[in-house]
Structure 1
Amino acid sequence: MTRIGRRWLAAFGLALMTAACASGDPSDGGGRASPVIRRPALESEFTPVELEVAIDDLVAEINKKPSEPMQTAVLLKAVTGFFAPMAKGATRAMGELDVTGNVLGSLEPTGDQQLDMEIQNQQLEQVLLDGAEAIGITPFGDANAAAIDAAVAKGVHVVTLDNDLATSKRSIHVGTLGRSAGATAGETLLATLPPAPGTVVIHGNTDPTWLDGTDRTRGAREVLEAAGYRTVVVQATWGDGSEAEDVEGIKEQIEDEDPPAVGLLGLFDIAFRCAMAAEAAGKPDLPIVAFDFHPMTVDYMRQGRIKATHIQRQYYQGYLVPYILYGIKNLGLDATRGVLAPRMVDDSRFNLGLDVVPADKIDAYSDFLDIIDAKQ
């Protein structure tokens, strides 16, 4: 067995999903005779009504005639942590659609992005051999483009979620768009800052190979600089030893900046490191705004150290993708884009938007995640 094969068996597994084959009446050529029925939307102040409407509109079009069965796969970077709600959403949608397929993702990330990309490409090849007709994927980077394009060349539509890969031939991307997400986070932080001048330390991304991270960082900087603040970016890192490295890097900027640091903005799931750095610098009262719902971020919000966070609606990312793939299968790509048009920013990107959660709403948002069973 190859090194990649051994790592695949060790690190990747099913996310509790093997849906039954779609039922149908032989007289209609194998199409599904019964309509698609969704789980009713749950009532909460955080329910994204505009997304629920988009899915309902798509289902209404699909249900106008018997639909064809579909075999699919959703390939996630992981099925734990940040990606767990995506796995939950995709699993639920595939069950509602009664399609055949699996949700696959890492149980123990290798920490080696190049190896992870190779494993994911091998996964993609395997699900095609197993008969997948439509695929959702959270790509690692450009090295996934050739595998996606090979799937498209075989007539298989591919929808990306979380990270986009616009250089590939994917049909649609579903996600929180980087630049607008960063701008929203910048606006949230602005409301907590003293009047300019001052420096805002951003725990963001300057690596041009990660376009979504760079766009999010750019969006935040544009908003803050337009309001008269100076910004400085500390590169976010993951992996062994990264926490100490990031905390020290942010701490140094807090201590050294001129004009002085007046606020911190963390743009990824490790945003809680901003609070750790502020404490280490002896300035625990600096306003901090974060991203995502990491347990440590939640703890700092309960302490009043992080003022707000921004959630990328991972559950809805996972939930939408099987519905979009099913729509493409039964309505065609152009018709599916047409139904989704109110949320499309161009002909290939569906803007999922963000949940902005202030610290005093943390319990209400936690209850919402419990209701949809989407805790990470």
Structure 2
Amino acid sequence: MTGRHWAAAVGLTLMTAACGASDTDSDTAREATPIKRTPLPQNEFIPVKIEATIDKLVAEINKSSIQPMQIAVLLKSLSGFFAPIATGANRAMGELGVSGRVTGNVLGTTDASTDQAQLTELQTKQIEQTVAEGTEGIAITPFGEGNGAALDEAVAAGIPVVTLDTDLAKSTRSIYVGILSTSAGDAAGKTLLKMLPEGPGTVLIHGWADPIWADGVNRTQGAKGVFEAAGYDVLVHQSIYDDEARDVEVMRGKIEDADPPVVGLIGMFSDSYRCVLAADAAGAPDLPIVAFDFAPQTAEYMRQRRIEATHVQRQYYEGYLGPYIVYGIKSIGVDATREILAPQLVDGDQFDLGVDVVPWDKVDAYNDFLDEIGAEQ
């Protein structure tokens, strides 16, 4: 919708602009077809409590008369890490669309640029354009605080905004859906802690220290606090994301120079698998390693038990919850929506999805689960 930089998810031009309604009743409440959720296969990785919350929200929406609404779901990308978010959002928009409640699209950038400022500017233009075209609700994975002003303007115009994956807590968005970085880091740290030998010893965190990325810092600090509280020394190595060879070389040096010796490694992001390369380079292949996210390299090292476990964000549920929460705010109100979401809400407006803890011996079972729900990465 802003030229070549944006593309709609295939098959989701939900042209249900009236869904059988005439021009005379499109803006009034009408009886609606009950929403029917697409059933997911029974699986040990299904987040039962989150599913129960969604069911309750849908049940309350179904009690209300129809409120047709145009929703825009704006994603950083439709591929890679964001593909499961797109899948979930597409599914929710489809379910809401079939019931006659929602029109709209799931949109994502096709620009491969890594220039954060440029991508932020592009997304800001996308927000402004969707608002100008009549969007009544927005679910968004924002690029950063630079999108905040445009979203605040949308909220001031009466458009509810739900942030996904990356929060803009200083904005006037209604609700954030995703992991809470500090608690996610804490959870990952506790997984590795169980595998460590008794101290003294040093834990190397492949993480983030630059305050330019608050979520990265918070996730890293969450894990760091676990090890420090248990009496271990901690070395934080900031990922050199765009240079794997340099990244591994710097970690190798830190492993070799550490005093007391390194007793375990933990990676906080999708490039966690590099911890294996660094341990090998330092001649320490037996060190326990715990990872984050589910990159193909991480999965392969888990099959070899070089990585003991990983922690996977529930991107599918980020995307799936976004449209439902936006519509819930319109249908039953923000306070009623928050009350339903309360079991997972932190500080009243942050929906904590938590993480899936996947041990090495269940890597293929988890991969099959993602395939079954259409959320493979």
Asked if the contact 1:77–1:106 (Cα under 8 Å) also holds between the matched residues in 2, the reply is: yes
The correspondence for 2:221, drawn from 197, 218, 221, is 218
| 1:97 counterpart = 2:100 | no
Counterpart residue number, 1:12:
6
Describe how 1:52-63 pairs up with structure 2 within 5 A: 52-63=51-62
Counterpart residue number, 1:373:
374
Counterpart residue identity of residue 146, structure 1? A
* Deviations 1:228-279, CA, capped at 9 Å, x for gaps: 111111112433xx22232122212111111111111100111111111112
| 1:180 counterpart = 2:174 | no
| 1:79 counterpart = 2:75 | no
In 2, the alpha carbon distance for the partners of 1:313 and 1:171 equals: 20
Moved more, 49-58 or 108-117: 108-117
Moved more, 132-141 or 349-358: 132-141
Give the 3 Å change call, closer, same or farther, for CA 256–31 of structure 1 in structure 2: farther
Counterpart residue identity of residue 49, structure 1? V
Counterpart residue identity of residue 303, structure 1? Q
Give the 3 Å change call, closer, same or farther, for CA 38–110 of structure 1 in structure 2: same
| 1:127 counterpart = 2:122 | no
Counterpart residue number, 1:337:
338
Counterpart residue identity of residue 161, structure 2? V
| 2:76 alignment partner, SS class | strand
| 2:176 alignment partner, SS class | strand
Give the 3 Å change call, closer, same or farther, for CA 108–272 of structure 1 in structure 2: farther
In 2, the alpha carbon distance for the partners of 1:267 and 1:251 equals: 17
In 1, the alpha carbon distance for the partners of 2:32 and 2:292 equals: 43
Counterpart residue number, 1:165:
168
Asked if the contact 2:64–2:332 (Cα under 8 Å) also holds between the matched residues in 1, the reply is: no
Counterpart residue number, 1:307:
308
Counterpart residue identity of residue 41, structure 2? L
Query: Size of the alignment, in residue pairs?
Result: 368
In 1, the alpha carbon distance for the partners of 2:206 and 2:274 equals: 9
| 2:105 alignment partner, SS class | strand
Counterpart residue identity of residue 61, structure 1? E
Counterpart residue number, 2:205:
202
Asked if the contact 1:11–1:110 (Cα under 8 Å) also holds between the matched residues in 2, the reply is: no
| 1:153 counterpart = 2:145 | no
| 1:63 alignment partner, SS class | helix
Counterpart residue identity of residue 277, structure 2? M
1:295 to partner: Cα distance? 0.5
1:92 to partner: Cα distance? 0.6
1:292 to partner: Cα distance? 0.7
Counterpart residue number, 2:233:
230
| 1:100 alignment partner, SS class | strand
Counterpart residue number, 1:268:
269
1:163 to partner: Cα distance? 0.9
1:10 to partner: Cα distance? 4.0
| 2:19 alignment partner, SS class | coil
1:30 to partner: Cα distance? 5.0
TM-score of the superposed pair, with normalisation by structure 1: 0.94
* Deviations 1:104-134, CA, capped at 9 Å, x for gaps: 1123431111111111111111111221111
In 1, the alpha carbon distance for the partners of 2:225 and 2:272 equals: 19
Give the 3 Å change call, closer, same or farther, for CA 161–237 of structure 1 in structure 2: farther
Counterpart residue number, 2:194:
191
In 1, the alpha carbon distance for the partners of 2:150 and 2:245 equals: 36
For structure 2, list consecutive stretches of 5 or more residues without a partner in the other structure: none
* Deviations 1:137-172, CA, capped at 9 Å, x for gaps: 111221111111111111111101111110111110
TM-score of the superposed pair, with normalisation by structure 2: 0.94
In 2, the alpha carbon distance for the partners of 1:69 and 1:131 equals: 12
Asked if the contact 2:312–2:358 (Cα under 8 Å) also holds between the matched residues in 1, the reply is: yes
Counterpart residue number, 2:43:
44
Counterpart residue identity of residue 281, structure 2? A
In 1, the alpha carbon distance for the partners of 2:211 and 2:31 equals: 46
| 2:35 alignment partner, SS class | coil
Give the 3 Å change call, closer, same or farther, for CA 302–32 of structure 1 in structure 2: farther
For structure 1, list consecutive stretches of 5 or more residues without a partner in the other structure: none
Counterpart residue identity of residue 299, structure 2? V
* Deviations 1:72-126, CA, capped at 9 Å, x for gaps: 1111111111111000100011000102111111234311111111111111111
CA root-mean-square deviation:
1.6
Q: Percent identity?
A: 57
Asked if the contact 1:38–1:96 (Cα under 8 Å) also holds between the matched residues in 2, the reply is: yes
In 2, the alpha carbon distance for the partners of 1:303 and 1:38 equals: 38
